[in-house]
Structure 1
Amino acid sequence: MKSVLALLQFCTSLPLGRPVEFEHFARRSYLYPLAGYVIGGIAAGITCWIASPVVGAVVALATVLVLSGCNHFDGLLDFGDGLMAHGSREKRVAAMTDRTTGAGAVAAGIVVTLLAFAGLQAAAHLPAAILIAEVCAKVAMSWLTTLGAPFREGIHSYLHGFAKPWFVVPAFLLALPLFLLPVPRANIALALAATVVIAALMLALSRRLFCGVNGDVVGATNEIVRAGIILLLALL
């Protein structure tokens, strides 16, 4: 339970009392999907009472961003700056880790948010879509934490130091309860498959551009996977 509490204190802005030693979660980063169930479940519960797809989509996105403290969204903005920077690997890393917000960050934030917003409006079952997407996003975070060799010291390198290759298995297994949702099982299977593809692409891209992974890349993966899964579910 200390591991779960440390996870939720790290991934959410929920008032959960006295901080628990972060190492409890670091040793079990495969628990990431549990945060997806909490964040996505709260968002889904709220949107169940909203009839308008447009309002429901806005509320769902606002809820997951607020509950996550916008930490992963901040990673997306930083990743956007690094992605759009020109020049050497050092220049890209400098752009990503710089405190200022550039055009790449703005573009990344707008594009990913618009894709998620549009997808939620068109989803056949909005509450299920936001829950599935949030859990898949956290599965991807766990995988990048496990498989992404860090290029600098930070939270990611700390978590990666405790991760074991087999962590990818329990992280995936924690997503299997999604098949209990009132959504065609084929759709959920495709969502999980898409999660694997997006996570692999983010891992390959970060290795090519930055020669490794940091917390910004992991956070950006969360936002991109969420939007990608929402869009996929809307198109199915």
Structure 2
Amino acid sequence: MLKKIINGIDAIRGLMAFMTKIPMGNFKSGFKEMSHHYTFIIFIGLFIGLIGAPCSYPFYYFDIGGIIVGVVVLFVMLYIQGFHHVDGLGDYGDAWMVMGAPEKKLIVMRDKYMGVGAFAFIFFVELLSISAISAIYLNSTFLQFVKLIILAEGCSRLGSLCCASLGAPSNSGTGRYFIENTKKIHLFIGIIILLFISYLIGIFKIGLMAVAVAVLVGIVIVKSSKKSFGCITGDILGASCEITRAFVLLIMVFLININMGII
């Protein structure tokens, strides 16, 4: 039992090292062992949000507005994750623009080149996130802003967890381990964790909507990827994080403007 716990902690440390730039020291676990703990990415997202959101404080303190807040906060969060998922978003964008059989699209997804599809997807998805973060900043207090960004970052990982639990793995690549070993029960656990966190920090109503949007985006990506690629890859898991964040932030902007009392 003790050995199992130690191995589990080692695998989570490996997952943290793989998903972020946070030094985790030496660990023995490979991708196969890490994949059994993929639900933990929810906490990784929450942690990254907890670091990134407070970067807005100087702007609140000096009463500085504008899109620069979104740029700074998103950059910090992306930097902490080592731009890991942005790379997946670019590969996903390139493959999405390819016409032809799924096999041809997967070859493009896995090559080392960056095409116009990658540029367009990264530019517009991240621009949407930056704009939404700036809009949330302008319409909420510092504490509310921190809560919402933390929740959004956690929900972004829920979109990826949804893809992993509902999608079919490819025949190669490290992503297949996470998809093979992530089940629907893990998605359910991720949903419960985020709903509990949103209740704990006092934004349950908006948390309920954010979780629903994250799951919906994940389902749409799974269905579209099945049609276009025939499977879910590691790049698609990364892309789903970035795309889900953008849509969750967008729904938060709408909810705040419709009813400020929701937070």
TM-score of the superposition, structure 2-length normalised?
Answer: 0.84
Residue 69 of structure 2 corresponds to which residue in structure 1? 56
CA distance, structure 2, for counterparts of residue 187 and residue 163 of structure 1: 27
CA distance, structure 2, for counterparts of residue 160 and residue 148 of structure 1: 7
Give CA-to-partner distance per residue, 1:93-124, whole Å, 9 cap, x none: 22222211011000000000110011011113
**1:143, CA displacement in angstroms?**
2.1
Give CA-to-partner distance per residue, 1:162-204, whole Å, 9 cap, x none: 2333211212122121233354x32221111101110000000
Residue 220 of structure 1 corresponds to which residue in structure 2? 239
Asked if structure 2 preserves the Cα contact closer than 8 Å seen for 1:135 and 1:175, the reply is yes
Asked if structure 1 preserves the Cα contact closer than 8 Å seen for 2:14 and 2:24, the reply is no
Residue 107 of structure 1 corresponds to which residue in structure 2? 120
CA distance, structure 2, for counterparts of residue 156 and residue 140 of structure 1: 15
Asked if structure 2 preserves the Cα contact closer than 8 Å seen for 1:9 and 1:19, the reply is no
Could you say what secondary structure the match of 1:48 adopts?
helix
State the one-letter code of the partner of 1:40. G
What is the correspondence of 1:86-165 to structure 2 with a 5 Å cutoff? Answer: 86-123=99-136, 124-125=139-140, 126-165=145-184
Q: Is residue 2:36 matched to residue 1:27?
A: yes
State the one-letter code of the partner of 1:178. S
Change in Cα spacing, 1:174 to 1:20, as seen in structure 2 (3 Å) is farther
Residue 47 of structure 2 corresponds to which residue in structure 1? 38
State the one-letter code of the partner of 2:185. W
Could you say what secondary structure the match of 2:187 adopts?
helix
Residue 16 of structure 1 corresponds to which residue in structure 2? 24
State the one-letter code of the partner of 2:22. L
Moved more, 101-110 or 45-54: 45-54
Q: Is residue 2:200 matched to residue 1:180?
A: yes
Asked if structure 1 preserves the Cα contact closer than 8 Å seen for 2:10 and 2:27, the reply is no
Asked if structure 1 preserves the Cα contact closer than 8 Å seen for 2:20 and 2:80, the reply is yes
CA distance, structure 1, for counterparts of residue 161 and residue 78 of structure 2: 19
The structure whose RCO (Cα within 8 Å, separation 6+) is larger is 1
| Residue correspondences, number | 235
Moved more, 187-196 or 137-146: 137-146
**1:147, CA displacement in angstroms?**
1.9
CA distance, structure 1, for counterparts of residue 70 and residue 119 of structure 2: 21
Among 6, 10, 19, the residue aligned to 1:2: 10
Residue 208 of structure 1 corresponds to which residue in structure 2? 227
